[in-house]
Structure 1
């Protein structure tokens, strides 16, 4: 009986103590549950962010990819989910279609500007490829439809601004910043308007010797004053935030160096519903691309003061990230129900696709890519389907059926940039081989070739970006369990001609005969949590 009573007492005490211990553990670990910079360890550059009530929306640059100008949604500024794109294709021209040897790598549409005004969402961008400025509008940013207006010229790194008096403007330029007025609906340049210089040398606050002159304009109005954010880059220094302030949109403007730490720069201001302010900026981080940071802002004497004692903090007083999978990148089994999108939003085509040569219906549960022309280069092949790599490390895996390849066909898995890497299956003289190709020197070299006696194979690429390691390793498997390395490790490099972080790509192209096809059963991506 005594034993029973003692046992009952012990159990009663455990019932009381366990929740208490769990609560203590929760409180002790709360500090580690804060958000950390970078808030998005993936290529999401040139961000523009707005808040509509308690929801944030962000647009970004994806240049030559289709669809373009991705729209992301968040409730906390940290965890983001793709919800839409501003356009399916920017234009039907040779450079965007990868026709006649032309391409739009490093061009396409660049930095966007996002606004919400009188119930309408505005997303603007500009394109060197077409020489135009684009204004996309919708009443429903998550579902559309979008209306587009376009006009010449292409206003570089412009910011759209609706003033309190109903007038609408673009501020744009490099070094010398200009103002131009638009029509009331922002669909074009206001007739009779003249452009005017509002800041002669916007780089001046960063010193007299700059390499990259001030660009990336983003204009805000807070408590009756205008605040213009720009990036500049002093020679021998780092990417730097400069801010100019004025009482009138036309100036005069006074400028300050606002942040010079880690090269975190280019972006603007956002406030939270409870009155806190942040600067959203990005950092060049090698092969993974340009990655977003948040920097707390305090207002002192009418100026936004960025950072903590001028430094970008590691931790933020915001909820920790729920991760980038499946909000920014995601696995895909290629199974589709009747009302599903043909392709989830995480996917973008490298340039404009030929929609007659890919299918999810030809073999349900598979993505089929069919060749329709002869290509001699992976970079000129159409219908390469891509999504971002993510840091600090990640892996991408696919399984493909190569039963219907033709001689000269090459299909598989890539990490796409100018200095790309491929692992896939080539067919030559009726024989299939597993091949690894490296373009680390910018000239593709076949590093390894192994015979493939089956009609299906698993492929994997592992990427490591931690501490700018920037390496990709290539693998194959015949059963999906035992993995063998193939070829050599690729030293990835962010190149300006492509101007984009590395992306996973599923590809198929022909070098001899058209009409061959391959079926991809799935693509699976996984992020690996290593401390950066």
Structure 2
């Protein structure tokens, strides 16, 4: 084996414990020649569900504590995706723990859900492990979405899906992953009927339709007159995709495994949505359940119908599928769409890729205080939580997903002329397991460039001008190098590299931060943020 390839493989395995040829090379998505390579989205778009409405495809992905919540994606060809919007604009309608003054719900918040289209509306249902289930609907998937409605206050449940039968009856399916006191078993899958408005469960209709080790990721379909219950469960080989089918929604169900997994090589594709393209072929849009530093990326797998079962991936001799890393594009579409990343802050609203870490504090950020700039007012981090990673408890942190591509360059231009003593503002990479902060800190009226790598500071360069340009670059290995400029032309690297990480089911986030450890004082103006993740 070539030494460079061997070292790349070794590094990939060390970074995430899992690997593929595509991840080694950084190749992904649309190849421009009628083919594609998985992943189609090399970033943390996890806990997926997807549907087709006419010639358009829509997907949703969980967001946990980030706001706005539950991102909605759009595609014309299942390969190239853009962000359409978000379902939840106010996380405090779910829980006060998701507000800027609490910030203690990492790994919690908005988990997996489902998106469906019926009765001339899009319907999204989702759960949180602590607060229960919520729903919203919209006529346009880009929004506005109705304020989230609390469907059921309960804890220990997840992975729900709504379903509209041919007669208009609405159903709701979800997993109770807590121990059931009646039978002392975990991961019972329950089926309920719902009221016609989809806003209340008919509790007396509760029926357990399945129980197995780790059974969750529920979806319901009706195809050719049969009910199909999609779910995943844990087997000795890893978390696999399962399907049950029946002539009656209450069973009896016939169950079959749909794919094999190798966690070290294919990263356990499981949660996702079953789709039929206009030409008749079927596909499965899925996340990879084993997370790397970029989180749990998205792949598209072909589906082969064998004896009435949708086998996912390339069928083995046992007619159970395996991971497929490339193939012909399902649909030929020349339109150029991609996940949005840059923002000039000149449209009067934040671009759709941005998500705050927790619900932002009203009045502490503005796109109108200075035209063409994002103003961030500094305030003190939440002091109730005693932990080393300060960025996890600092409000006014605006984030987006870091992409696992060969060439990533994120640059921000910041006006620091109105900072106050105790204030620190700049670029960050963070997860719940590690962080780095690179920016300007002011003390005694002096502004200094500071690089904080998990609590180890590197500083000493005094910044005297009004503006500073901060940059982070990284590649498929997830090693970031920071640099700065005082004229926007010549950049100088600072400090050691930083290894991007993941934690609490989330991949690394690139973001803009601004806080003051002394008092609520000072502000910065962000002129623009430009992020290029070209192939």
On whether the aligned pair clears a TM of 0.5, the verdict is yes
Report the CA distance between 1:459 and its aligned residue: 0.6
Give the secondary-structure state (helix, strand or coil) at the position aligned to 1:95: helix
Q: Is the 8 A contact 1:94 1:102 kept in 2?
A: no
Could you say which residue in structure 1 is the equivalent of 2:341?
A: 330
Larger Rg: 1
Query: How does 1:290-309 map onto structure 2 within 5 Å?
Result: 290-309=296-315
- Range 157-166 or range 447-456, more displaced: 447-456
Report the CA distance between 1:216 and its aligned residue: 0.9
Could you say which residue in structure 1 is the equivalent of 2:189?
A: 177
**Alpha-carbon separation, structure 2, partners of 1:432 and 1:361:** 26
**Alpha-carbon separation, structure 2, partners of 1:475 and 1:31:** 33
RMSD between aligned residues: 2.4
User: Taking structure 2 as the reference length, what is the TM-score of the superposition?
Assistant: 0.83
Could you say which residue in structure 2 is the equivalent of 1:15?
A: none
**Alpha-carbon separation, structure 1, partners of 2:395 and 2:467:** 23
Could you say which residue in structure 2 is the equivalent of 1:81?
A: 82
Give the secondary-structure state (helix, strand or coil) at the position aligned to 1:287: coil
Report the CA distance between 1:66 and its aligned residue: 1.0
**Alpha-carbon separation, structure 2, partners of 1:156 and 1:356:** 34
Q: Does 1:450 align with 2:458?
A: no
Could you say which residue in structure 1 is the equivalent of 2:252?
A: 252
Could you say which residue in structure 1 is the equivalent of 2:63?
A: 62
Q: Residues 374 and 415 (structure 1 numbering): CA distance in 2 closer, same or farther, change over 3 Å?
A: closer
User: Taking structure 1 as the reference length, what is the TM-score of the superposition?
Assistant: 0.84
Query: How does 1:399-478 map onto structure 2 within 5 Å?
Result: 399-418=413-432, 419-439=434-454, 444-464=455-475, 466=476, 469-478=477-486
Structure 1 residue ranges (4+ consecutive) displaced by more than 6 angstroms after TM superposition: 319-326
Q: Gaps spanning 5+ residues in structure 2: where?
A: 1-29, 178-186, 316-320, 384-389
Give the secondary-structure state (helix, strand or coil) at the position aligned to 1:259: coil
Query: How does 1:364-383 map onto structure 2 within 5 Å?
Result: 364-373=371-380, 377-383=390-396
Report the CA distance between 1:145 and its aligned residue: 4.4
Q: Which of these residues, 186, 190, 195, is aligned with residue 206 of structure 2?
A: 195
Q: For residues 126-158 of structure 1, what are the alpha-carbon distances to aligned partners after superposition, in whole Å with 9 as ceiling and x for unaligned?
A: 1235x1311101223234342532132254111
Give the secondary-structure state (helix, strand or coil) at the position aligned to 1:91: helix
Q: For residues 437-491 of structure 1, what are the alpha-carbon distances to aligned partners after superposition, in whole Å with 9 as ceiling and x for unaligned?
A: 122xxxx322444332333211111132x2xx23222111222222222122112
Q: Gaps spanning 5+ residues in structure 1: where?
A: 1-28, 204-212
Q: Is the 8 A contact 1:79 1:322 kept in 2?
A: no
Could you say which residue in structure 2 is the equivalent of 1:494?
A: 502
Q: Is the 8 A contact 2:430 2:500 kept in 1?
A: no
Q: For residues 297-321 of structure 1, what are the alpha-carbon distances to aligned partners after superposition, in whole Å with 9 as ceiling and x for unaligned?
A: 1111111112123332222221699
Q: Is the 8 A contact 1:329 1:388 kept in 2?
A: no
Q: Is the 8 A contact 1:40 1:324 kept in 2?
A: no
Q: For residues 347-371 of structure 1, what are the alpha-carbon distances to aligned partners after superposition, in whole Å with 9 as ceiling and x for unaligned?
A: 1111111130111222212111112
Q: For residues 212-268 of structure 1, what are the alpha-carbon distances to aligned partners after superposition, in whole Å with 9 as ceiling and x for unaligned?
A: x12111121111112222223335x33321222222111222222211231222213
Report the CA distance between 1:374 and its aligned residue: 5.4
Q: Residues 292 and 475 (structure 1 numbering): CA distance in 2 closer, same or farther, change over 3 Å?
A: same
Query: How does 1:504-523 map onto structure 2 within 5 Å?
Result: 504-523=510-529
